[in-house]
Amino acid sequence: MSDGPASLSIRIDLGDDRRIGPGKIVLLEKIKALGSISAAGRALDMSYRRAWELVEELNRMFGRPVVESRSGGKHGGGASLTPFGESLVSRYRAIERAAAAAAGPEVASLLNDLPRRRPRPTRP
């Protein structure tokens, strides 16, 4: 048996270097939760520039915005997911759940094939 549960990571290749994977989806979820691209980037140890580039990549990929930005001002700026961005996250997570359910028995079989780890000796 293993030290911890196995996990399945899904990356969807849509052709022509267009990909959606866990990194972009987690970024969108953080933007939704924190209301800011910069705060989401910080939470993921990612620069604002990189977070913005990933959002722009998604916008170009789908030909419509996934995130709406609000300019700063008296109460500051912010960002939120568009209805399409919300749908993108929801559909990705549904695909992820379906894949995990379908692959579950095979993943469990792989885990059973791993050699057992010996416990590390404890120091006095």
* Three-state SS sequence of 37-82: HHHHHHHCCCCHHHHHHHHHHHHHHHCCCCEEEECCCCCCCEEEEC
Q: Which CATH number does 14-100 carry?
A: 1.10.10.10
pLDDT score for 75: 63
Section 59-77 average pLDDT: 85
Token reading at 84: 């399409």
pLDDT score for 119: 73
pLDDT score for 8: 87
The model's pTM is 0.82
Helix (H) or strand (E) holding 12: strand 12-13
Strand 12-13 versus strand 19-20 pairing type:
antiparallel
pLDDT score for 108: 87
Domain ranges of the chain: 14-100
**In the chain, what percentage of residues exceed pLDDT 90?**
68
pLDDT score for 2: 42
pLDDT score for 120: 74
Section 98-107 average pLDDT: 91
Section 89-102 average pLDDT: 95
90 with 98: CB under 8 angstroms?
A: no
- In angstroms, the CA 75 to CA 27 distance is 23
